[in-house]
Structure 1
Amino acid sequence: MLTVVCPSCQANLRVRPELAGRAGKCPKCGAIVQVPALDAEAAEDRAESGLSPRETTAGDEFPDIEPTDRLVRDYHYLVVDRNGLVAAWENNGQGWTIRSGTTFVRAARNADKLPSQGDFKLVELQLARTEDGSHRLTGLAVYQLAPRYALSRIERGEDAILQAVRGPAPLSKEQKTAVFAYIREKFMRPIWEDHAALVDYLTNLDYHSPGISPHTHPFVT
């Protein structure tokens, strides 16, 4: 599946590869969404498999386009509030963990510790595998979560928090500090130190500096 973003409502949408190069209506808001064409190598692979692109007009709807409903398994996800880090997720079998005092505990076993409301943001740390099998940090996206019951969705499953996403958001200086501290603690320096734009953003503690999202920030891939 390909992932595209609606330019109007910012919904993350999944599209079958054979729809590459087509345009259609977002199933959420009706805006026109252009699916990028496949690169030459991918197009050649599809041709060899006997699949051909289908033509369409910009007014057609995608019957099979749907919002992304799963966390990307190679990424790390954080939830921050006004004061800093609240919860974290990585694909290690532990599911979401939440801060409890000076440590983190499994959210599934400590549902009573999940706050029911607050100004929460979901931070997506985007990682990619390199040719040698290691990872590198390639981008960072920030999303505003619903003010009520966003974290309680964690009880329903680790992906359920995506249903609370309301759109892109900025990070405050306290949140930047918390995210950068997590990165330095979790990842070895070679994974992130060469990403100058990301490091510059997180170490620029100006509260009014621009937020990061896949749609607005140039270093997010």
Structure 2
Amino acid sequence: MLTVVCPSCQANLRVRPELAGRAGKCPKCGAIVHVPALEPEAEAERRVENGRSDGDSDAGNEFPDIEPTDRLVRDYHYLVVDRKGLVATWENNGQGWMIRSGTTFVRAVRNADKLPGQGDFKLVELQLTKTEEGSHRLKGLAVYQLAPRYALTRIERGEDAILQAVRGPAPLSKEQKTAVFAYIREKFMRPIWEDHAALVDYLTNLDYHSPGISLHTHPFVT
């Protein structure tokens, strides 16, 4: 079995070797987890050792024997950023993906001609959770590198199709952090995000690089 770490909740997950190079949903928190591709020799060796347990893995956290996730988590918000800033947004509000057009955003499905065919794009997952009182809180953030070609044009096939372009975890640049934090402040009321000091520190500390941040993983949170 392979062992991968969820970039959101840091759970150690046992994954079947045949899922190498694909993306699946973490059974603990629902975040997207990318399984790195293996060299043929390494994969063959793993198959031989398939019956041996991985000592550091969390028992019962194996990916299910189904196709990797092909749906965005409906309680989350998703952003696509490039080197300059925000390119596209997704909220579970019936509008689907919104693509940047000049100084505004328009529905991607009605403006397919505005979808760039290539570029250095990253998918940002803003992870929200509901409290016992029924209000929402921002619990974490994960960043994924997208394929350099045809990542955004996949949106034409459906709002979830962009997940097929995920290539692995990635850090945010200074400009991208600024764009993400501006989106958070514009879209969410302060009580939703201000208590997550680790996330705010990550987005405002432009010299700190990480593929994600959560209350469970930040070294300064106990």
Fold conserved (TM > 0.5)?
Answer: yes
Corresponding residue for residue 197 of structure 2:
196
SS at match of 1:198: helix
Letter of the 1:211 partner, please give it: S
Corresponding residue for residue 42 of structure 2:
none
Corresponding residue for residue 89 of structure 1:
90
Q: Which has the higher contact order (CA 8 A, sep 6+)?
A: 2
Q: CA deviation at 1:210?
A: 2.1
Confirm or deny that 1:167 pairs with 2:164: no
Aligned-residue sequence identity (percent) comes to 77
Corresponding residue for residue 144 of structure 2:
143
Q: CA deviation at 1:69?
A: 1.1
Matches within 5 A, 1:102-117: 102-117=103-118
Q: CA deviation at 1:182?
A: 0.1
Please give the alpha-carbon distance, in whole angstroms, between the structure 1 residues aligned to 2:107 and 2:27: 39
Deviations 1:52-97 (A, max 9, x none): xxxx9447x9772431111000000000000000000000000000
Please give the alpha-carbon distance, in whole angstroms, between the structure 2 residues aligned to 1:87 and 1:166: 18
Please give the alpha-carbon distance, in whole angstroms, between the structure 1 residues aligned to 2:63 and 2:193: 37
Q: Is the 8 A contact 1:123 1:142 kept in 2?
A: yes
Letter of the 1:122 partner, please give it: L
Please give the alpha-carbon distance, in whole angstroms, between the structure 2 residues aligned to 1:142 and 1:124: 6
Deviations 1:18-63 (A, max 9, x none): xxx9955243229xxxx989xxxxxxxxxxxxxxxxxx9447x977
Corresponding residue for residue 33 of structure 2:
none
Root-mean-square deviation (CA), in Å?
A: 3.2
Corresponding residue for residue 7 of structure 1:
4
Corresponding residue for residue 212 of structure 2:
213
The change in CA–CA distance for 1:205 and 1:111 in structure 2 (over 3 A counts) is same
The change in CA–CA distance for 1:128 and 1:68 in structure 2 (over 3 A counts) is same
SS at match of 2:93: coil
Corresponding residue for residue 29 of structure 1:
20
Q: Is the 8 A contact 1:27 1:62 kept in 2?
A: no
The change in CA–CA distance for 1:176 and 1:58 in structure 2 (over 3 A counts) is same
Q: Is the 8 A contact 1:144 1:168 kept in 2?
A: yes
SS at match of 1:132: coil
Q: Which consecutive residues of structure 1, in runs of 5 or more, have no partner in the other structure?
A: 13-20, 38-55
The change in CA–CA distance for 1:210 and 1:112 in structure 2 (over 3 A counts) is same
Please give the alpha-carbon distance, in whole angstroms, between the structure 1 residues aligned to 2:16 and 2:65: 11
Deviations 1:175-217 (A, max 9, x none): 00000000000000000001000000000112xx2222379x8
Please give the alpha-carbon distance, in whole angstroms, between the structure 1 residues aligned to 2:218 and 2:109: 34
Compute the TM-score of the two structures, normalised by the length of structure 2.
0.72
The change in CA–CA distance for 1:81 and 1:22 in structure 2 (over 3 A counts) is closer
Please give the alpha-carbon distance, in whole angstroms, between the structure 1 residues aligned to 2:15 and 2:183: 39
- Find the structure with the greater CA-based Rg: 1
Q: Which consecutive residues of structure 2, in runs of 5 or more, have no partner in the other structure?
A: 29-49, 54-61
Compute the TM-score of the two structures, normalised by the length of structure 1.
0.73
Corresponding residue for residue 71 of structure 2:
70
Q: Is the 8 A contact 2:199 2:213 kept in 1?
A: no
The change in CA–CA distance for 1:174 and 1:66 in structure 2 (over 3 A counts) is same
Q: Is the 8 A contact 1:80 1:123 kept in 2?
A: yes
Q: How many residues align?
A: 181
Q: CA deviation at 1:156?
A: 0.4
